[in-house]
Amino acid sequence: MTFENILFEIENNIGILSINRPDKLNALNQATLKEIGNAIDLAENSDGLKGLILTGSGEKAFVAGADISEFQGLSVEEATQLASNGQALFFRLENFKAPVIACVNGFALGGGCELAMACHLRIGTEKAKFGQPEVNLGIIPGYGGTQRLIQYIGKGRALELLMTADMIDAQTALNYGLLNHIVTNEELIPKAISIIEKIGSKGPLAIKGVIECANAFFDKEKEGFNFEARTFGNLFTSSDVIEGTTAFIEKRKAAFQGK
């Protein structure tokens, strides 16, 4: 599949997706969002995929926001649909079966911050900056920013950032819990790969279950503890549970098959 706005490759069963519009600070226009969706399709259909890494091309930005030029002249219905489509795409990342890691190498603002928050983990360089500046334009975040920012940093801090449009630097993001790690630019992708490789040595069905249960905590249609118990029980139909428990008793490394 040919892409114009992103770069995507799968190497050693790890997908790396780069937003490739550095002259636009990797702003998310509708064409780019569609291509991200196509890349997710490829990743979902890749056998043995261990995880997915998202980053931005160039040295200035992960994603500096949405393409505001596409917002002008929208009707209420069109604007609502635009936000719903973006949310649906980001839910695909949040619910992805394997770990998704955002490697933030600069500005992650507006839609870029929302994209990073839809990933399971976030690693940043010291130049990483996060913010939801939409109120400067008279609008609000539309791709899940008002909901996920509260989940990561708490309601008080989130409301302050959402209403002031202030940016926070990498160290503040780490202190708040928005970033998992701060590394040098050279270490950014290797760090993500090392985390995915470590997770990839565990039971794939169990990792998928962990992701689903963690997301269930924030799903109003699910009761998290019951969902966890059912997921725990359902895993006992898998060969991986037999292999994992047997390997533990035999004091050897488990050879999981994801079955």
Active-site residue (options: 35, 94, 134, 228)? 134
- Prediction pTM value: 0.94
Query: Domain limits of the chain?
Result: 6-199, 201-249
Least confident of 9-18, 30-39, 77-86, 217-226: 217-226
The pLDDT > 70 percentage for the chain reads: 100
Q: pLDDT higher for 14 or 67?
A: 14
d(CA 105, CA 188): 8
pLDDT higher than threshold 90 for residue 220? no
**Predicted pLDDT of residue 59:** 86
Active-site residue (options: 35, 94, 114, 228)? 114
Reported as a single tens digit per residue, the pLDDT across 127-141 is 999 999 999 999 999
Contacting residues for 70 by C-beta, under 8 A, at least 6 apart: 29, 30, 82
DSSP for 12-60, please give it. Answer: TTEEEEEE--GGGTT-B-HHHHHHHHHHHHHHHTSTT--EEEEEESSSS
Tell me if residue 134 is catalytic: yes
Residue 37 banded pLDDT, cuts 50, 70, 90:
very high
Least confident of 10-14, 68-72, 173-177, 213-217: 68-72
**Predicted pLDDT of residue 15:** 97
Residue 68 banded pLDDT, cuts 50, 70, 90:
confident
d(CA 141, CA 122): 19
pLDDT higher than threshold 90 for residue 67? no
**Predicted pLDDT of residue 12:** 95
Rounded to a whole number of angstroms, the distance between the first and last alpha carbons of the chain is: 29
Asked whether 256 and 202 are in contact (CB, 8 A), the reply is: yes
**Is domain 6-199 given the CATH code 3.90.226.10 in the classification?**
yes
The pLDDT > 90 percentage for the chain reads: 90
Asked whether 215 and 95 are in contact (CB, 8 A), the reply is: yes
Kindly state the average pLDDT of the residues 134-160: 97
Mean pLDDT of the chain: 95
pLDDT higher than threshold 90 for residue 13? yes
Tell me if residue 250 is catalytic: no
Kindly state the average pLDDT of the residues 145-166: 98
**Predicted pLDDT of residue 1:** 78
